[in-house]
Amino acid sequence: MEKNKDNLSNLRSRGLAFAYRVGDYVEERIGQMVIENGREAPVLSEGAMVYPRVWYRVPLSDGISGDGSEYHIYLKAAHKDKLVVFFSGGGVAWNAFTAARPVTGGKVAAGLPNFYWNNLRPFTQIMNINIGITENGNPANPFEDWSFVIVTYATGDFHVGDNDYTYTDSETGESGVVRFHGYQNFCAAMRKAKEIFPDPKKLLIAGDSAGAFAVPALAADVTDIWYPDCSDVTCFSDSGQLLYDNWQETAREMWKTREDIWQAIRTPNITLDWYHKLYAKKKDDVRYLYACSTHDYLLSAYYNDVVNKEFTSDAEIQEAFYVQFVQMLRELKEITPGFTFFVNEFPNLMVMKRGMKGGTAHTCVREKIFYLPVKSGVSMCKWLGDAVNGELYDVGVPEEVTEKTP
């Protein structure tokens, strides 16, 4: 019996090792293909001419990634009066255990815990540009003629950190440092944005996944510090739900955010708290939009790790996520009845991710499903394009959200 157990353990170990190697190889190969096929965004040198509708990679010397490597953003110039400031996603680290486990292709393929991207590499370009809302040359994209600044993400701190964090891994005992300098990177990105796009008349402040959390945290900085003369502003978070009791401690002690940012965190729902903060300051001077799928496979996996220390997703944890999701939509409407929602049930197609069974898609705005209609016949690109022009309506909202509680 013991021999059988040992054999099974060895088989599993060899299987994980093989999956790990394959995952790393696939990621590296995709990155190489981006370069070899001439698809890597050209570097925008200081003082160089910015050609319209070209995606540029812009290194920022005053930015830094989580592992201490270089930091860059992406930008595209189009209509001078319309600008998207987009916060990229890429996971989060909320304690020493998660800080010690950044994402790699190998970990993803092997189903090992991996919580945030800690650097920028050719592979990460495919997550940032030329898909969904950032797609060039697609007449179906209502934002094809907008200018863009993509605030890339490689710090695990929802773009708000300001700390070199030294951790000791609770499982292995190994030590390391994460540069939680998302706020420094954001400010560097906005300085470049102001230089290239000095005076937009319409502004969309958007983000997906980790970037969705950053929108309410930093939108007032965008409007009040960088673009105070712009009065037509829309704020949009795509998939930003993760309940955790110790968010304030993480923001204060680990990320060392600005005081007003961590002080605004009062509940396990950090996104809701930051939207309360944003609304208290901006009232109805901006439009507020939120989108998510009903049983998000990835956000539910993060929540599962928070409560059960298992970075996996299944039907039970997805249903728990759905209950929280319904409550979140209710509470966002309580902040202001003008909060507008896009809810989808697109299935999770990431079948190659071990431990991520079933559920619904994670994010939509920078995916091909940006153009797909939900059951009502409305796509996110249609809904969002209407919203920035003042035509606000909900799509796909579950009946439970509007039902009166007894």
List per-residue pLDDT tens for the chain, 406 residues long. Answer: 443 334 334 434 554 454 445 444 455 655 566 655 657 899 998 878 899 999 999 999 999 999 999 999 999 999 999 999 999 999 999 999 999 999 875 555 556 778 999 999 888 898 899 999 999 999 999 999 999 999 999 999 999 999 999 999 888 888 999 999 999 999 999 999 999 999 999 999 999 999 999 999 999 999 999 999 999 999 999 999 999 999 999 999 999 999 999 999 999 999 999 999 999 999 999 999 999 999 999 999 999 999 999 999 999 999 999 999 999 999 999 999 999 999 999 999 876 566 788 999 999 999 999 999 999 999 999 999 999 999 999 999 999 998 765 4
pLDDT of 268 reads 98
- In the block, tokens 């200081």 appear at 46
Q: Which of 140, 141, 130 is nearest to 76 (CA)?
A: 130
Question: What is the distance between the alpha carbons of residues 220 and 30, in angstroms, rounded to a whole number?
Answer: 37
Query: What DSSP character marks residue 30?
Result: H
pLDDT of 39 reads 75
User: Out of 3.40.190.10, 3.40.50.1100, 3.40.50.1820, 3.40.640.10, which CATH number does the structure's domain 2-402 have?
Assistant: 3.40.50.1820
Question: What is the distance between the alpha carbons of residues 203 and 189, in angstroms, rounded to a whole number?
Answer: 16
Tokens of 185: 């990177």
- In the block, tokens 């923001």 appear at 251
Tokens of 57: 């990679």
Element (H, E) at 175: strand 175-180
> 48: helix, coil or strand?
coil
Could you tell me the residue ranges of all domains in the chain?
2-402
Letter string b/e over residues 40-59, b meaning 16 or more CB atoms within 10 A of that residue's CB:
ebeebeeeeeeeeeebbbbe
C-alpha torsion angle, residues 8, 12, 13, 17 (rounded to 10): 150
Letter string b/e over residues 320-335, b meaning 16 or more CB atoms within 10 A of that residue's CB:
bbbebbbbbbeebbeb
Residue 142 Cα distances to 164, 211, 376, 380, angstroms: 40, 21, 19, 11
Residue type, 93: A
> 334: helix, coil or strand?
helix
Residue 211's contacts (CB-CB under 8 Å, 6 or more residues apart) are 86, 87, 88, 89, 151, 153, 159
Contact 258, 204 (CB under 8 A): no
Question: What is the distance between the alpha carbons of residues 254 and 317, in angstroms, rounded to a whole number?
Answer: 27
C-alpha torsion angle, residues 307, 117, 60, 165 (rounded to 10): 50
pTM to 2 decimal places: 0.91
Letter string b/e over residues 263-276, b meaning 16 or more CB atoms within 10 A of that residue's CB:
ebbeebbbbbbbbb
pLDDT of 60 reads 97
pLDDT of 21 reads 56
Question: What is the distance between the alpha carbons of residues 323 and 400, in angstroms, rounded to a whole number?
Answer: 9
Element (H, E) at 124: helix 122-128
- In the block, tokens 């304030």 appear at 248
Number of neighbours of residue 17 by Cβ within 10 angstroms: 12
Letter string b/e over residues 178-203, b meaning 16 or more CB atoms within 10 A of that residue's CB:
bbbbbbbbbbbbbebbeebbeebebb
Backbone angles phi and psi of 29, in degrees to 5 = -65, -40
Question: What is the distance between the alpha carbons of residues 89 and 115, in angstroms, rounded to a whole number?
Answer: 11
pLDDT of 260 reads 98
Strand partners of residue 167: 176
